[in-house]
Amino acid sequence: MLEILIQLLPSVLLEGLILGFVYAMIALGYTMVYGVLELINFAHSEIFMAGAVAGAEVFILLKGVIGNPFLLLALAILIGGAVAAIVAILVERLAYRPLRKRGTTNRLVPLITAIGVSFFLQDLVRLIEGLWHNAFYRRYPSFSVFEATYTLPNWIGVLTILATLWLAFWVIAYFGDWLVRLFSKKERAAGRTLSIVAAGLTLVFAFFYRHVIFADLGMTIQMKSILVIVVSLAMLYGLNWLVHKTKLGIAIRAVAQDAQTASLMGIDPDVIVSRTFLIGGFLGGVAGVLFGLLYTLVHPYVGFIPGIKAFTAAVLGGIGNITGAAVGGLVLGMLEMLGGTYLTFLTNGAMGTEYKDILAFLILIFILLFRPQGIIGQQLGEKV
Amino acid sequence: MKKVLELKNVHTYYGKIHALKGINLEVFEGEIVTLIGANGAGKTTTLRTISGMIHPKEGEVLFEGVAVQHLPAHLIVKRGIGHVPEGRRIFPRLTVEENLEIGAYLENDRHKVEERKAEVFELFPRLAERRRQLGGTLSGGEQQMLAIGRALMQDPRILLMDEPSMGLAPVLVDLIFETIAELNKRGKTILLVEQNALKALEIAHRGYVLQTGEITLSGPAKELAENEEVKRAYLGG
Ligand SMILES: Nc1ncnc2c1ncn2[C@@H]1O[C@H](COP(=O)(O)OP(=O)(O)OP(=O)(O)O)[C@@H](O)[C@H]1O
Ligand SMILES: [Mg+2]
């Protein structure tokens, strides 16, 4: 039993990582908009959906024209991102800005507007797809180059297992220390002590289970997963550069911190808000295309679950915090995959992978209850 | 002399509160004009009305002869009005350098931006040492320097300053006033709001006294400093 759990670990974490990248990119849209407007844009899940559907259309329409699947994917990503960005800008311009200009201070009003916009976009896409194809379920075509699998070197699996074990022992040591402190006056153990204890335990464990850990796991990865990782990393890197190294990025952070003072610098806050929706929308749209690439079937209602998971990821990392959203997405993706897979094992199949959604929402509820500022805390916003 | 700024019968409200009751005020090129008055007199409101953060219900704000009172703040800044706001309002999670960069948001010529940055660093060497530090971690005095430096990055034709000496140690107060005088010598036109009326009248050319939203006195700074009423109310004499 334990053997299987350990040997499954690397591939489960890898799956989680891939899903996590998709969550991370969607989460960035929630977090950036929250940073500048203190608004949870619940319509963001539909902006993601618009990108996913647009990407599917690009694939389906151009499959016969463009032979190279990679070129096709690049086009789908660009167009999917662009469509989502335009939808995001329009939503801001037509729904949120008028509310802002009216000086609505009630937080509930924009929230309900966002939900209304969500329904509107779902049905709008359904209408368009319905009129166009007489069907609103669209499928990403499959290409053999994308499905091809590659075997990963064994050391990746070994390292993953060791790192996870170390992390698990660290957490155990942390709570062990906490328990001891409950009953004695002992000082809190230093982080370094915990790390060393965890490393020791890992080594001991690895020694006894060496036949499991160092066995040939034959971990594989599909081409499309590699593409998801590469594209996501490129987008995250690009965003980081944009936010930290460009004038627009500094302006976005300035508006997030103090919009009124930003306007004294000659910045038009409305323009910056619009650009923020553009960037968040583009990332969401790209995430939509990657999601389509992974799961193939997309439709007007496909945004809801990934959207609310990504929102969870944003809250997990501290809403308003860009790094937090990325980290939160990856962590949530991995936790979800771990939970989904292991729950099945631990309950002898009584509880299947479908419970992984519950896990994500449990995490959301617990964070909101116990650490609403997230793991890293709010950063982009931090109003003065 | 060229008139840079003129307020004509400006009335500003916060909801039902009548904060400015017909302000008339002029600033000429090359001047330091100070606006003094007790807490709640409407000094900050006057500056906020000029830079478009709040719009007057009546009256005109003329900048270089053009009415600007209907423009949003970012467009007024673009015309050449720099504002060092009350309480500094540094962007706490931008570095010192980024705070300065954002001050020059409207300047697209990289060369000029670097030039101005060098000027600010020359004026406040302290900021140069701390250029990678987050604005929020600076001391009060350093934040004030940064707020002034940030406004200078726009190279404004008039600089509005709202209580730049507030909450600073005496040495720093002197430094800030020296800097203001120095900036003026270099050609900056300045409208200075101060609680420290004595110091303000020392470096200013002219002054206005504001009382509950109305200008009650105005004239050359030296005369105001001699005025019995002013002495009693603002100079602790
Ligand atoms: N946001 C606001 N809402 C309502 N009333 C306000 C607001 N800001 C200022 N006021 C009122 O307007 C009047 C003028 O305020 P203002 O801030 O201009 O005074 P001030 O001269 O700058 O005072 P201080 O020296 O304390 O800074 C005061 O009576 C104040 O209570
Ligand atoms: Mg004031």
Q: Who's near A283: CB < 8 A, 6+ residues apart?
A: A25, A26, A28, A29, A81, A235, A239
- Number of residues written out for chain B: 237
Give residues with Cβ within 8 angstroms of A214, minimum separation 6.
A154, A158
Are β-strands A297-298 and B3-14 bridged in parallel, bridged antiparallel, or unpaired?
Answer: unpaired
pLDDT at residue B97 above 50? yes
| Rounded Cα gap, residues B138 and A30, in angstroms | 31
Alpha carbon distance A185, A125 (integer Å): 63
The CA distance from A6 to B16, in Å, is: 70
Q: What is the CA radius of gyration of chain B?
A: 17
Task: Classify residue A93 by its DSSP letter.
Answer: I
pLDDT band at B231 (very low <50, low <70, confident <90, very high): confident
The closest ligand to the CA of B46 turns out to be 1
- Closest residue by Cα to residue A330 from A314, A342, A308: A314
Question: What residues of chain B, 124 to 143, have a C-beta less than 8 Å from chain A?
Answer: 136
Return residues 90-109 of B near A (CB < 8 Å). 91-94, 98, 101-103, 105-106
Ligand 1 midpoint to CA B178 (Å): 28
Residue A246 Cα, gap to closest chain B Cα (Å): 10
The CA-CA-CA angle for residues B196, B200, B203, to 5°, reads 150
In angstroms, what is the span from residue B163 Cα to ligand 1's centroid?
A: 13
A376 phi and psi, to 5 degrees?
A: -100, -25
State the ipTM, two decimals: 0.93
Residue in A330, A283, A324, A338 with CA at minimum distance from that of residue A309: A330
Q: What pLDDT, on a 0 to 100 scale, did the predictor assign at position A167?
A: 92
d(CA B3, CA B1): 6
Question: pLDDT per residue over B44-76, tens digit each?
Answer: 999 999 999 999 999 999 999 999 999 999 999
**Under a CB-based contact definition with an 8 Å cutoff, are residues B93 and A379 in contact?**
yes
* Mean per-residue pLDDT, B33-52: 95
**Chain A positions in Cβ-Cβ contact with residue B93 (cut-off 8 Å):** 253, 257, 379-380, 382
C-alpha distances out from residue A57 to A22, A52, A133, A307, Å: 20, 9, 11, 21
Sheet containing B3-14: order of strands: B17-28, B3-14, B58-63, B66-67
Mean residue pLDDT across chain B: 94
**What DSSP element (H or E) covers B37?**
strand B32-37
CA of B87 to the centre of ligand 2 (A): 9
Strands B3-14 and A149-151: unpaired
The CA distance from B84 to A261, in Å, is 9
Evaluate the CA torsion angle A71, A75, A78, A80 in order and state its sign. negative
**Residue A381: per-residue pLDDT:** 46
Q: Which of B77, B98, B102 to mutate to test the interface with A (most CBs of A within 10 A)?
A: B102
Nearest to A247 among B92, B105, B154 (CB): B105
Is residue B222 over pLDDT 90?
yes
Residue B197 confidence (pLDDT) above 80: yes
- pLDDT-above-90 percentage for chain B: 92
Cα A197 from Cα B223, distance rounded (Å): 77
Residue A383, pLDDT score = 36
DSSP state of B135: G
- Give percent helix, percent strand, percent coil of chain B, each to the nearest 5: 40, 30, 30
What pLDDT does A380 receive?
A: 52
pLDDT per residue of chain A (384 residues) written in tens, 0 to 9: 788 888 888 999 999 999 999 999 999 999 999 999 989 999 999 999 999 999 999 999 999 999 899 999 999 999 999 999 999 999 999 999 999 988 877 888 988 999 999 999 999 999 999 999 999 999 999 999 999 999 999 899 899 999 999 999 999 999 998 898 888 888 888 888 899 999 999 999 999 988 888 888 888 999 999 999 999 999 999 999 999 999 999 999 999 999 999 999 999 999 999 999 999 999 999 999 999 999 999 999 999 999 999 999 999 988 888 999 999 999 999 999 988 888 888 888 777 777 888 888 888 888 888 877 777 665 554 432
Assigned token pair, A343: 């729950």
Mean pLDDT of B188-209: 94
Considering only CB atoms, which chain A residues are within 8 Å of B102?
Answer: 250-251, 254, 262, 265, 267
pLDDT reported for residue B15 = 93
pLDDT of residue A341: 86
Of the options 3.40.50.1220, 3.40.50.300, 1.20.1290.10, 3.30.70.20, the CATH number for the domain spanning B3-87+157-234: 3.40.50.300
C-alpha distances out from residue A191 to A48, A173, A195, A224, Å = 40, 10, 6, 39
Q: What one-letter code names the amino acid at B93? A: R
Coil, helix or strand at residue B207: strand
Whole-number Å distance between alpha carbons of A69 and A126: 27
Nearest CA to ligand 1 atom 1: B14
Q: How far is the CA of A205 from the centre of ligand 1 (A)?
A: 68
| DSSP single-letter state for residue A325 | H
Maximum pairwise Cα distance, chain A: 74
Q: Do A257 and B53 touch (CB under 8 A)?
A: no
What is the CATH T-level fold of the domain A2-152+218-370, as seen in this structure?
ABC transporter involved in vitamin B12 uptake, BtuC (1.10.3470)
Domain residue ranges of chain B, discontinuous segments joined by +: 3-87+157-234
- Residue A95: what pLDDT? 95
Q: What is the reported pLDDT for A77?
A: 98
User: What is the structure's pLDDT at A377?
Assistant: 61
Query: Which atom of ligand 1 is nearest the CA belonging to B195?
Result: 25
Where exactly are the structural domains of chain A? Answer: 2-152+218-370, 153-217
What integer is the mean pLDDT of B93-118?
Answer: 96
Does B72 lie at the interface with A, CB-CB under 8 angstroms?
Answer: yes
Dihedral (C-alpha) B121, B125, B128, B134: value to the nearest 10 degrees?
A: -110
Partner residues linked to B34 by β-bridges: B192, B207
Tokens matching residue B102: 């954002």
- For a mutational test of ligand 1's pocket, the pick from B11, B36, B44, B216, i.e. the residue with the most ligand atoms closer than 8 A to its C-beta, is B44
pTM: 0.91
Element (H, E) at A29: helix A2-37
pLDDT at A345: 81
Residue A378's pLDDT is: 53
pLDDT at position A384 is 29
According to DSSP, residue B196 is labeled -
Buried b (16+ CB within 10 A) or exposed e, A160-178: bbbebbbeebbeebbeebe
Q: Which residues line ligand 1 (CB under 6 A)?
A: B 14, 17, 19, 37, 39-45, 86, 195
- Determine the pLDDT at residue A214: 86
Question: What integer is the mean pLDDT of B88-98?
Answer: 95
Q: Would you tell me how many other CB atoms lie within 10 Å of the CB of residue A189?
A: 16
Helices (H) and strands (E) in chain B, counts: 10, 10
Find the DSSP H helices in A134-222.
144-147, 154-183, 191-208, 210-213
